[in-house]
A and B are shown apart, each in its own frame.
Chain A
Amino acid sequence: MEAMKETVDQSLREMRETFASGRTRSVKWRKAQLGAIIEMVKDNEEKMSDVLFQDLGKHSSEAFRDELGFVMRSATTALNCLDNWVVPKKSNLPLLFYPATGKVISEPYGTVLVLSSWNFPISLSLDPMIGAIAAGNTVLLKASELSPNASALLAKLIPSYLDTKAIKVIEGGPDVATILLQHQWDKIFFTGSPKIGKIIMAAAAEHLTPVTLELGGKCPTIIDHHSVSKDMKSVVKRISGGKWGSCSGQACISVDYVLVEQSFASTLIDMFKPVIRSFFGENPKESGCLSKIVTKKHFQRLSRLLNDPRVKASIVYGGSMDEEKLYVEPTILLDPPLDSEIMNEEIFGPILPIITLRDIQESIGFIKSKPKPLAIYAFTNDKNLKTRILSETSSGSVTFNDLMIQYMCDALPFGGVGQSGMGRYHGKYSFECFSHEKAIMEGSLAMDLEARYPPWNNFKLNFIRLAFRDAYFKLVLLMLGLTKGVRK
C-alpha cells in the first residue's frame, strides 16, 4: 500500500506539473488526444471485444453497440465540436456599465479523477475521459477491479496511445480507491452505486472537490396497454431487448420493473415468452447472446433475491440459475410482494418483476413512492398520461415508447437526480461537466461615475437608485438638476 501511495503521489504531482505547464489547454493537444482515443479503439476493437466477453460474456455486437461504437462516436463528436465548445460566451451587460464587456470562459478544473463501473468498463471509463480531455484537464482513471481484463487492457493501451504525463491509469479495488480519495482532486467523476456515491462525496467534501455522480435506481417501465395496443409487439420487443439484450439487465438505465394494468398482465407475459425465445433460443445459456452475471458475489445477491419464498412463488417464466457459469435465465415475476428485497433495491440483473395495478394512472403514485430513478420509461400514446408523468414524477430522464436510447442522444444531458445522482454528461454536457465557467468582466478606465464613491449624500443615493432601475431618462434629469427625489 505504501508503494501504491507513492505511485498516486507521484502521478498527481506529474499531472499537476503538466497542467501548470499549460500543455493540456491547447486545443491542438486536446484534439490529438481525442483522435488517439479513436485510433486506440479502432486498432484494438477485437481485443476490447475479447475482454468484454471474458469479463461479462458480452457478445461482440453488444460490445460494439453499447461500448466501442459509442466511445468512437463520442470522441468524434468532441473532436468535431471542440472548436465551438471552447469559444467564450458573450454576456450582455446593462447599459449603465457601458463600455464594459462581459463573457464566460470555460476553464479546465485541473486534475480529474474518473472512477468507472464494471458493467460497461470501456465506455464508462473512456466517455468521461473524453469529456475531461476535451475540457483541457489531466485525468487519472481507475477502472473497476470487477472487470479485471478490461481494466488491464485499458491500463496497457492508454499509455501507449495517449500523453502519459497528463493521462494516467491506475488499477485496483476499494483500497486503491480509498488512497486516491485521500488526495486532493479538482473534480471527481464517479459511476456506480448510491452507497459508494455517498462515500465518494464525503471524501470529496474534505477538499471541496466538485463531483459528478452517475448512480442508479429502480427504473420503472409503464405499459399503458390501452393506447399502444396496436404496437404491443414492438413494446414487448423493446422491453426485452432493453432488459436482457444489454449486459443481462446489469445497467443503470435498464428496465428494473414493469407497471401494467391487472387485466392485461397475463396477455403481456404470454407475449414476452416467444420474444425471449426468439432472442435467445430454447436454451439461453448456450445462446452466446446473454451476458453473464459479473461475479459470484453478484450472482449470490440475485440468487438471494429470488430465493425469498414469496418471490419464488411469483416466478412465471425462467428462474433457472447456474452459479458455475454465472448464468441467470431471463426471468419474469408477477406481483412479487412490494416489501420484498427485490422490490426495494436496484435489481441489476435479468429478473423482471411485473407489478399490476387496477388503473394505469396509479403508476404515477407508485413511482413517486420510491427514490427518484435514473430513467422512467413509458409506453403510451395517451397525451394526458404523458403530461402527468412529466409533471408529477421526477427522474434523471423520461423516455416515451422506447428504452435506453436516451443514452445515445448526445444532445440530451445524461445524469440522475436525488438518489440516482448529481451532474450530467454526454456531448457538450461532458465538456461542461469538466469545466469551470469563469465569469470575466472588463471595464474601462476612461470614464468614471462620481456617484459610485463616498462620501455619500442624497444625490448619489438617488443616482444609484435610478441607475439600478435602468431608469436612464430620470437619471439624466437628475444630473441636470431637473428632479430631486426618487419614488422608492
Chain B
Amino acid sequence: MSKLEEAFISVIVDRSAMAKIFQMADASNLVTELRRNFDAGVTRGYEWRVTQLKKLLVICDKHEPEIVSALHDDLGKPELESSVYEVALLRNSIKLALKQLKDWMAPHKAKTSLTTFPASAKIVSEPLGVVLVISAWNFPFMLSIDPVIGAISAGNVVVLKPSELAPASSSLLAKLLKQYLDPSAVRVVEGAVTETTLLLEQKWDKIFYTGNSRIGRIIMTAAAKHLTPVSLELGGKSPVVIDSDTNLKVITVRRIISGKWGCNNGQACISPDYILTTKEYAPKVIDALKKELEAFYGNNPMGSKDTSRIVNLNHFDRLSKMLEEKEVSNKIVYGGQKNRENLKISPTVLLDVPLDSLIMSEEIFGPLLPIVTLNNLEECFGVINSRPKPLAAYLFTKNHKLKKKFTKTVSAGGIVVNDTAVHFTLPTLPFGGVGESGIGSYHGKFSFDAFSHKKSVLFKSFLGDSAIRYPPYSRRKLGLLKTLVNSNLVDTFKVLLGLS
C-alpha cells in the first residue's frame, strides 16, 4: 500500500470515529437557529461585519503555513500556487471588502419623474438572510472563503459546506472558522452527498454553488422548491484561439502554460481547455509549448514539484480514459506519462484528436491540452459557438478586427485577450458564467450584490393628490392621464386648466 493510500485511510478512520452523523434534524435545527439569530439582527451592523472580515484576515495572516500544508496534502499544490492563488487572493478580497464596505452598504438615490412627483426614491441593500455556500475541491480555501466574504459583507448568516474531496482543507476550514468567526452566524458542515442532500432540503434565502453543471442542475432543482435564488459557478471547455500574428509566441505560450498547468495542473474552471489555431501555425505552437514546458518543469516533469497532482483515483482514471481512447492515444505530441500510484500525469499536448472524442466532449479538468487545427482561423467561431457556452474564452492576437469580432460574438462568462485566467484576480470584473457555465457572478462589489436584495424605497408626500387618479373614470381624466404619462409639462397644464 502506498504512503498516499495509507494517509487517506487514516484520515477516513479518524473522521468517522469522531464524526457525529449529520441528520435531517441537525440540518433543520441548524437553519432554524441561524434564522433566529439573523432575525435578531446579529449580522446587520457594520461593526459586526467588519469584525468578521478582520478575523478572516487574521486566519490568512496567522495560518498560511497550515493552509499551504493542507493544500499540499489534498492536491499536492505547490507552495506558490497556494500562497498566491488561495491565500493572497483571499487577503486582497478581504481588504477590499473592509475598505469599501461602507460604500457598498450605503443606499443609492434613484431619480423620480413627473408621474411620481412629488417623491424621493432610493435603493437599499439588505441581506437575503440564511445563505448556503457549497464549494469545490480544486481551490478549497479560495472557493469557500471568497463567497463567505460576500455573504458576510452583505450581512447574512452563512453555512459553508466545503468539498469532501479535499478533506484536509475541509477539516482545517471547519477548525479555523469555528475558532475565529461568530458561531451564532457562521457555521461549517463537513460531509459528502448525504450531508449536502440534507442541507439542500432546507429553505435557504440564497445558495451559492461552485462545481460542475450536473450538480448545478440538482442544486437549482432543490432551490426551486423554496424559490431560493442561486448563483452557480460552473465550468466548461474554455477555448484558446491563437492567431499566427502573435510572433511573440513565447509570451503567448507561457501565459497558456501558466493558466493551464500553473493553475492546479489544469484542474481549474477557467483553465485553457483546448487550443484552436491554423494548420500552418500549429507546429510553431507545439514547438514553443515543448520548449517552454521544459523550461518550466524540466525534462522530467513527473518529478517536478511545481504542479499539483491529480486530486484522486476517480479523476485520474477519468483522464486516463480520455488519453487511451482510440484515435486519441496516437495524437499525443508531448508528454503522456502517467503514474497511478502517485496520481501524476505529465503535461500532455495532443494534436488533432477527433472532435467527437471524449477529450473534446467533456471539460478536461486536467493536464491534457488538445490542439485543434483549422484551415482558416475564422472557423474558430463555428467550433466555439457550436458548443455549450464556456466560463472563459481566450484569444491571442494583435488583429483588432479579430479581437472585436471575438469579444462581440463569442458568448462566455468572461473573455481574456492575450492572457489566460488572470481575470479571476480582478475584483472590478464580474466573475461568472452563462448558459452551461453558470448563473450569477461575484468578486469585489459583485460578491456583495450576489448576497443582497436591492430593495426599492419610495417616499411620497401628501402634497398634490390629483383626482385624476381615482374613479369615477371619465374622458377628461383619461386625457389628463395621457399627458401625464407622456410627461409633457405644457400639455399637462393645458389639460388641468381645461384648455385641451
- Which A residues contact B (CB, under 8 angstroms)? 20, 22, 25, 59-62, 64-65, 69-70, 72-73, 91-94, 97, 100, 102, 104-105, 107, 109-110, 186, 194, 197-199, 201-202, 204-206, 208, 210, 213, 215, 228, 231, 234, 237-238, 240-241, 244-245, 279-281, 287, 289-290, 368, 390-392, 394-402, 405-406, 408-414, 417-419, 421-422, 424, 436-446, 448, 452-456, 460-461, 464-465, 468-469, 488
Contact = CB atoms under 8 A, between A and B. Distances in A.
B473 A60 contact: yes
Residue from the set A237, A413, A438 with the largest chain B CB neighbour count within 10 Å: A438
A113 to B, nearest CB: 15
18 contacts: A25-B408, A97-B426, A107-B411, A202-B224, A210-B439, A245-B469, A368-B39, A392-B41, A397-B457, A398-B458, A409-B121, A414-B456, A418-B129, A418-B205, A422-B227, A445-B398, A448-B254, A455-B298
Contacts, number: 295
B426 A279 contact: no
Contacts of B487: 73
A250 to B, nearest CB: 16
Contacts of B423: 102, 439, 441
Task: Give chain B's interface residue range (CB within 8 Å of chain A).
Answer: 35 or more
B426 A102 contact: yes
Given A401-B459, A439-B413, A455-B306, A464 B217 contact: no
B121 to A, nearest CB: 5
Interface stretch (B51-59, B107-115, B138-146, B279-287): B107-115
A64 B482 contact: yes
Contacts of A488: 61, 64
A390 B462 contact: no
A399 B459 CA distance: 6
Interface string B470-492: 11111001100110011100000
A244 B456 CA distance: 24
A465 B85 CA distance: 10
B455 A417 contact: yes
Interface of B: 39, 41, 44, 61, 64, 78-80, 83-84, 88-89, 91-92, 110-113, 115-116, 119, 121, 123-124, 126, 128-129, 205, 213, 216-217, 220-221, 223-225, 227, 229, 232, 234, 246, 248, 251-252, 254-255, 257-258, 262, 296-298, 304, 306, 385, 396, 398, 403, 407-409, 411-419, 422-423, 426, 428-431, 434-436, 438-439, 441, 453-462, 465, 469-474, 477-478, 481-482, 485-487
A24 to B, nearest CB: 13
Nearest to A465: B88
Contact of A445 (B78, B252, B431): B252
A406 B221 CA distance: 32
Nearest to B122: A412
Given A409-B116, A411-B121, A454 B262 contact: yes
Contacts of A438: 407, 411-415, 434
Contacts of A406: 121, 456, 458
Given A93-B426, A208-B216, A289-B471, 18 more contacts: A20-B385, A61-B478, A65-B485, A70-B485, A91-B428, A102-B426, A206-B217, A289-B473, A290-B471, A396-B455, A414-B456, A443-B417, A443-B419, A445-B418, A454-B262, A454-B296, A455-B304, A464-B83
Contact of A280 (B396, B403, B418, B472): B472
A436 B113 CA distance: 28
Nearest to A110: B411
Given A91-B429, A454-B262, A445 B83 contact: no
A488 B63 CA distance: 10
A72 B246 CA distance: 51
Contacts of B439: 208, 210
B460 A405 contact: yes
B434 A205 contact: no
A69 B482 contact: yes
Contact of A465 (B84, B409, B435): B84
A143 to B, nearest CB: 23
Pick from B61, B246, B257, B459 the residue with the most CB of A within 10 Å: B459
A61 B478 CA distance: 5
Nearest to A199: B224
Given A409-B112, A411-B111, A441 B422 contact: yes
Contact of A468 (B92, B116, B398, B408): B92
A50 to B, nearest CB: 15
Nearest to B217: A205
A394 B453 contact: yes
A442 B473 contact: no
B465 A237 contact: yes
The 3 closest A-B pairs by CB, nearest first: A61-B473, A205-B220, A201-B224
A43 to B, nearest CB: 15
Contacts of A401: 459-462
Please indicate which of the listed interface residues B79, B110, B434, B455 has the most CB atoms of chain A within 10 Å of its own CB.
B455
B257 A409 contact: no
B456 A422 contact: no
B401 to A, nearest CB: 14
Nearest to B461: A401
A94 to B, nearest CB: 7
Contacts of B417: 440-443
B190 to A, nearest CB: 26
B126 A394 contact: yes
Nearest to A233: B465
Contacts of B248: 445-446
Contacts of B408: 25, 105
B456 A413 contact: yes
A210 B225 CA distance: 16
Contacts of B403: 442
B418 A104 contact: no
Given A91-B428, A201-B224, A394-B126, A208 B213 contact: yes
Contacts of B460: 399-402, 405
Contact of A405 (B111, B257, B458, B478): B458
A440 B457 contact: no
Contacts of B457: 390, 397-400
A60 B473 CA distance: 8
